[in-house]
Amino acid sequence: MAINDVDKYVATLQKYNTNIKDEEVKAAVEKIIAEKVPENDTPEVKKFLLGSVELTSLRTTDNEENILAMVEKVNRFDKEYPELPHVATICTYPNFAKLVSESLEVDGVQVVNVSGSFPSSQTFIEVKVAEASLAVKDGATEIDIVMPVGKYLSGDYEGVADEIGEQKQACGECPMKVILETGCLPSMSDVKKASIIAMYAGADYIKTSTGKEKVSATPEAAYVMCQAIKEYYDQTGIQIGLKPAGGINTVRDAVTYYTIVKEVLGEKWLTNKWFRMGTSRLTNLLLSEILGKETKFF
């Protein structure tokens, strides 16, 4: 790597406050949860959160039958609960893009595909680019890729940025989310650095996790990612979205992420375009609380 390339990424990171301490982040998040979460535990917020869900199926056992069944539930929900917001997206592996795009009847629901050798990001860049291109060709309207975590951990920031940039080019007009796999990053300072590199390289959203590692989304990681998004917006004027994913198991978890976004980024990010949650189990839990009775629709 040429010395000027190293300097470029070091210089970029120096524009931001990456000297953050894990214990300070933990204390700040605990304060937000204690003081602000209760006021957001409302029916209106829960309805908003339902409309921010990326309804997801990323199982080894997925097949056309179960993916089609998921799409049909989204179609049916829109008819049966017209007063409630529909989910933001349906997220699957790329081989189901055509099926989802052709069977989805609800306007405004995006077709999301994980790509780039999800969840490990361990293959040739040519394969990653081809996968994104094929997904878009088959009807994907958003693409989620995984940052090459191994390259980041070895300090190869140029390699990380180049891979993200090439995949962004393959996505064309489709928004691209970059999964940082925050549970594999050693510190909150690394979460901040990875966020900045991903955004500079072309991410339209940054996303916490694949959900395939032992540690998935955490409020602390989301808090630091929101700080990075805010600083990037202040410097560039470019708005980047946030997607916590993996391990969002309760309605309180979802309200916590909403609250962090509200406190750090503000109202401009509280739309189902800029704030998403990657989950499936949460959908029925939110629906049950909104309707006031146990509901297993999805």
- Collect all residues with Cβ–Cβ distance below 8 Å to 31 and sequence separation of at least 6: none
Q: Can you read off the two tokens belonging to residue 251?
A: 């309605």
Q: Hey, which bits of 104-217 come out as E strands?
A: 110-114, 142-146, 176-179, 205-207
Q: Is 51 strand, coil or helix?
A: coil
Active-site choice (193, 243, 253, 262): 243
Active-site choice (46, 207, 253, 262): 207
Question: Is-catalytic flag, 207?
Answer: yes
Question: Is-catalytic flag, 144?
Answer: yes
Active-site choice (46, 78, 138, 144): 144
What's the rounded Cα separation, in Å, for the pair 48 and 160?
34
What's the rounded Cα separation, in Å, for the pair 162 and 123?
14
Question: Is-catalytic flag, 31?
Answer: no
What's the rounded Cα separation, in Å, for the pair 78 and 76?
5
Q: Is 230 strand, coil or helix?
A: helix
What's the rounded Cα separation, in Å, for the pair 140 and 128?
15
CA distances from 179 to 64, 144, 210, 292 (A): 25, 7, 7, 34
CB 250 within 8 A of CB 216: no
Catalytic residue numbers, as ranges = 144, 207, 243
